[in-house]
Chain A
Amino acid sequence: MIPNHPFLCFITDEIRHPVEQARQALGGGASMIQLRHKSASGEQLYRWSVEIRDICRKSHAIFMVNDRVDIAIAADADGVHIGQQDLPAAEARKLLGSSKILGVSVSSPREAVDAENESADYVGFGHIFPTSSKEKHTVPTGPDAIGSITQAVKIPVVAIGGINLENAHLPIAAGASGIAVIAAISRAEDPEAAAGKLVSLLELNRLR
């Protein structure tokens, strides 16, 4: 289940080995790992998924596969995270069944409401801050925009985009249920320590 306290989701990058990245993020206390790799083969994705699923289970963390509903079901992941160009949420839900977690990336309250109506369990919203991880053609929303999403839907809102140790408290203060990061962990000198610091920061915000 999705944690009911501010949580950290780590999304793998395509540079280093995804299983190793996941292991480090989990070591630091991440609650959710999302395998995102657009260029890997189906067989490779399947094998990585099985490995990451197992280490996530040991850490009581959630394992999500990006875009590939087929791989998520084949590897018995906890769920799928889809974007607006992927399978429609309603179709993904039909294939996944009711027990799996479905996350949907949204960029507006309207998309968030649609996702909720199509049985998404949470929405990812961003990008909050400037980011280099994905090529973005729009300006960052800023943390204040999170309120427009949390007001529109009842499901958790996970903030994404340019979140790091310096700014991670802002989306949480603005009402986000969690944060999702790539570079803040994957490009850190010590990824596990970076994940640990982000988790501590989220816990501090929880106590506030």
Chain B
Amino acid sequence: MTMKTIQIAAESHTDATVEPSRSSLPRLCIVSSGREPDSSGTMLLELMEKLPATLPCIVQIREKQLAAASLLNLSRRVKAMGEASRALIVLNERIDIAAAAGLSGVHLPESGCPPDKLSRLRHNMLIGKSAHSLESALDADMLGADYLIFGPVFDTPSKRRYGSPQGLDKLEAVCHAVGVPVFAIGGVTTENAKRCLSAGAHGVAALSLFYDNDNVSGILTNLQRVLYR
């Protein structure tokens, strides 16, 4: 598969077309809490304020409880905030809303619309996909996803209902089997993030780590050290 050049929607830097190949994607993906009560996005914006300017990351808006109109407004707000940092903003599931808001991409759940069917809306947007098995990771890779989020790798309260964690061995198998960057998700901490990278992961994705913690700035600094050592 050819390396796809991804033009990041960043109207504020007119000529600064960033062209990361897939392997130069940020190594950190922050997933929103799923607890935003409305399109103001207070929790997510507060978290983004704490992002170090030197830490590139993907911010995935995942607020399934909001209707499309609210998701559009929230996406526009987060995008405006993201332009001040080095974040790539992607929206969970809805590439139509992501396109309307001018986001950098969409993140499809494992049971989302197949990536190859989205070519008419894709243009130069990133398409990420969640995978919870080797088979679905291979499928997503074949159908044109730009990156994968695989998990849950470790035990995490938010994913316990999906059964026991997949573990580092399965993460490693997936990372070696697919040709696209893989982010490990599920119970990732500053302590175990390095083991995910050693298993072949391009980076890590997390949610609870940032929302159920008092020392977010400290965590971000430590993660940056691990991910960009």
Contacts and interface: CB of A to CB of B under 8 A. Distances in A.
A75, A84, A91: residue with the most chain B Cβ atoms closer than 10 Å: A91
Given A43-B112, A46-B113, A70 B100 contact: no
B72 interface: yes
A32 interface: no
B68 interface: yes
Given A74-B118, A87-B72, A41 B96 contact: no
B121 A95 contact: yes
Contacts of B16: none
Interface string A33-70: 00000000111111000000000000000000001111
B69 interface: yes
Contact of B113 (A74, A84, A88, A95): A74
A74 B70 CA distance: 22
B44 to A, nearest CB: 20
B61 interface: no
A46 B99 contact: no
Contacts of B109: 41-42
Contacts of A71: 113
By secondary structure, the B interface counts as helix
Interface string B39-69: 0000000000000000000000000000111
By secondary structure, the A interface counts as helix
A44 B111 contact: yes
B111 to A, nearest CB: 4
A68 B94 CA distance: 8
A85 interface: yes
Given A70-B95, A74-B120, A85 B69 contact: yes
Those 5 A-B pairs whose CB atoms lie nearest each other, nearest first: A41-B111, A69-B96, A85-B67, A42-B113, A70-B96
16 contacts: A41-B109, A42-B108, A42-B113, A43-B112, A46-B113, A46-B117, A68-B94, A69-B96, A74-B120, A82-B68, A86-B67, A86-B68, A87-B69, A87-B97, A87-B100, A88-B69
Given A42-B109, A71-B113, A95-B121, 8 more contacts: A43-B113, A46-B113, A70-B118, A74-B113, A85-B69, A86-B67, A87-B97, A95-B99
